[in-house]
Amino acid sequence: MAVTTMALTIPLEKLEPALADLAGVPQDPAYHGEGDALTHTRLVMARMAEQPSFLALDEDDRQLLLAAAALHDWGKARCTVQEDGRWTSPNHSAVGAKMARQLLMTQLGLSGTPEAVRLREAVCWLVRWHMRPPHIFEAADPGRALRQMASMGELTALFTLEKLAVLCEADIRGRVCADREARLEDAALFRALAEEAGCLRGPAAYPDAYSRFADLCGRTAVPGQRVYDPTWGTVVMVSGLPGTGKDTYIAAHYGGLPMVSLDEVRRGMGAAPDDGGGQVLRRAREQALALLREKRPFVLNATNLSQANRGRWAELFHRYGAAVRIEYLETGWEERCRRNLSRRDSVPESAVARMLRSFTPPQLTEAEQVRWICV
């Protein structure tokens, strides 16, 4: 069997090495009486195939969900530890999503085209959030938490909270635990709340981009209302792995704007191409501050691969009254490798591998505008 969407394929047999990593990975028997993580994963896939909510979807969506089910607990292979005599897997969904992204991007060819990126990221975000539905009422604002997750549908329409609910239901049915019925009730409430909020099958509606960002980041208490936009202009934050073609893209699309480039800062300081140290960042920050004080739109050219790094820059730009547009660039993996090797200051592929382990593409919770662009 294979996952197919828009002529793209994820052969499920290619995911078997990931499943093999879960063999013998222990789980707390109070929540997983069925056995190890591999046994659980295979049960989840089997139970999903029987669910009416799964069978009601079209074939492409069913195949996408099977891939997400296969990978949903892969992070347990790295995260499982024993604490106070009990097995636990802290942060395994976030780690598993990054592991899945790395596999799909570098080994299964899901990179470099809009269709590939949409399919890959739909799978990865289902993995990332598969544990959220039964716990949605623990969020400070459950409605906003739903809208934040549903906003991923603006970037990949293949992701919906409805699919997340299907995966969550299968995850619960694939367990042997005393509270399974209660968890299923919580998952059903998640679906009902998302339906009521108008974001079960797609993102919530907003009057404009700034109002959307104001709601998703918690600046307004009334979802969907039009919010006054006080920004004076836009800072463009370009994101992408080394060799993606950020310099070429910026020259073609933003050649008239000033640019703060970490590569240029490194060259000026004689630093290594993969040096992201404090002195490089301080020099780039000083350049950005000078432009922000003058209220001049500009481009930030850096890898900006992690949400934490992007967040620090975005916080600075917002503090000075600028709007932020994040443009994430991607090309095919082999082409990226070729471009990186041909660069004047190529980044060692070992460093790229480290970058990829921390990489998460930008979400609409991070900036007023976010674009994923294949170049």
- What average pLDDT does this structure show over 253-271? 89
CATH number at 41 reads 1.10.3210
pLDDT grade for 7, boundaries at 50, 70 and 90 = low
Domain final residue, candidates 196, 214, 247? 196
Is residue 87 within a helix (H) or strand (E), and if so which, with residue range? strand 86-88
Which residues, at least 6 apart from 320, have a Cβ–Cβ distance to it below 8 Å? 289, 292, 293, 295
Is the per-residue pLDDT at 5 higher than 50?
Answer: no
Q: Taking CA 266 as the corner, what is the angle to CA 265 and CA 272, rounded to the nearest 5 degrees? A: 170
Whether 275 shows a pLDDT value over 60: the answer reads no
In a domain, 366, yes or no: yes
DSSP for 241-306 reads -TTS-HHHHHHHHSTTS-EEEHHHHHHHHT--TT---HHHHHHHHHHHHHHHHTT---EEES---S
The strand order across the sheet containing 234-239 reads: 259-261, 299-301, 234-239, 323-330, 369-374
Q: Are 8 and 80 in a shared domain?
A: yes
Task: Assign residue 251 the CATH number of its domain.
Answer: 3.40.50.300
**pLDDT of amino acid 273:** 55
Residues 18 and 99 in one domain: yes
pLDDT for position 2: 54
Q: Looking at the structure, do residues 48 and 136 belong to the same domain, yes or no?
A: yes
In this structure, are residues 37 and 73 in contact, taking their beta carbons and an 8 Å threshold? yes
pLDDT band of residue 214 (cuts 50, 70, 90) is very high
Is there a single domain that holds both residue 57 and residue 171? yes
| Span 144-167, pLDDT tens digits | 999 999 999 999 999 999 999 999
Clarify whether residues 19 and 110 are in a common domain: yes
3-state SS class at 27: coil
Q: Check residue 272 and give its pLDDT.
A: 66
pLDDT tens for residues 81-133? 999 999 999 999 999 999 999 999 999 999 999 999 999 999 999 999 999 99
Q: Is the pLDDT of residue 249 over 80?
A: yes
- Mean of all residue pLDDT scores within the chain: 94
pLDDT at 174 over 80: yes
Confidence category of residue 28, pLDDT binned at 50, 70, 90:
very high
Residue 210 belongs to a domain: no
Domain boundary among 167, 196, 225: 196
Instruction: Note whether 238 and 192 are same-domain residues.
Output: no
pLDDT for residue 276? 60
Element (H, E) at 370: strand 369-374
- Give yes or no: residues 238 and 349 share one domain: yes
Structural domain range at position 276: 234-374
279 shares a domain with 166: no
State whether 187 and 247 are in the same domain.
Answer: no
Q: Are 162 and 169 in contact (CB under 8 A)?
A: no
Instruction: Say which range, 2-6, 29-33, 56-60, 251-255, has the weakest mean pLDDT.
Output: 2-6
Residue 209 included in any domain = no
Whether residue 1 is predicted with pLDDT greater than 60 in this model: the reply is no
Q: How confident is the model at residue 206 (pLDDT cuts 50, 70, 90)?
A: very high
Task: Please count the structural domains in the chain.
Answer: 2
Q: Judge if 161 and 279 occupy the same domain.
A: no
Q: Is residue 184 part of a domain?
A: yes
pLDDT at residue 305 in the model: 96
Give the integer Cα–Cα distance in Å for 372 and 361: 8
* Residue 217, domain member (yes or no): no
- The token duo for 222 is 């009334």
Lookup: tokens for 245: 């073609």
pLDDT digit string, tens, across residues 288-318: 999 999 999 999 999 999 999 999 999 999 9
